[in-house]
Amino acid sequence: MRAKISYAVTAAVLVVYFVLVGSRGVLLIETGTPLTVVFGVAVLILPVIGVWFLWKNTEFVRNANRLAAELDAEGGLPVDELKRLPSGRIDRDSADEVFARRKAETEAAPDDWRSWFRLAVAYHDARDTPRARKAMQRAITLHKTSH
């Protein structure tokens, strides 16, 4: 729940920022000189990219949460079996061991969104965020095609 609140607050702050930046771009365009119009258009591009990125990220999170809820209802969410260091961080060897099992599971069932979901969690636990996102995106795509 705390993560959802943090995400909502961050998104709201970004939206306010995009509105402020966009209004400055409009003011520059309204000035009407060739230089301010060019700067105004350039300034407007940033909020457009930001809104697109925020939308895609929000859509990704909602889809991943939907898969997690479905997997939880089936009793298939991965169990946290990772060893932790005294600091609370995940032990790297433990994460690598779980990752190897999840990878083998996914290789055995490459069209199963559930195995890709669990692989994404294993990548995340191994602190490989780019691959975790790619694996989760694959799980989302497979889930959409299977329903």
Q: What is the pLDDT of residues 6-26, one digit of tens each?
A: 888 999 999 999 999 999 999
Q: What are phi and psi of 76, to 5 degrees?
A: -110, 10
* % of the chain residues with pLDDT over 70: 100
Q: What are phi and psi of 68, to 5 degrees?
A: -60, -40
pLDDT confidence bin for 147, thresholds 50/70/90? confident
Dump pLDDT digits (tens) for 37-71. Answer: 999 999 999 889 999 999 999 999 999 999 999 99
Query: Is the distance from CB of 22 to CB of 47 less than 8 angstroms?
Result: yes
Alpha-carbon distance values, 131 to 111, 128, 135 (Å): 17, 6, 6
| Phi/psi-derived region of residue 84, left when phi > 0, alpha when psi is between -120 and 50, beta in every other case | beta
Q: What is the mean pLDDT of residues 111-125?
A: 94
Q: Which CATH architecture has domain 92-146?
A: Alpha Horseshoe (1.25)
Q: What is the mean pLDDT of residues 80-109?
A: 89
Q: What stretches of 32-128 show up as alpha helix (H) in DSSP?
A: 34-74, 92-108, 113-125
In this prediction the pTM is 0.79
At 80 the pLDDT is: 83
Domain segments of the chain as ranges: 2-66, 92-146
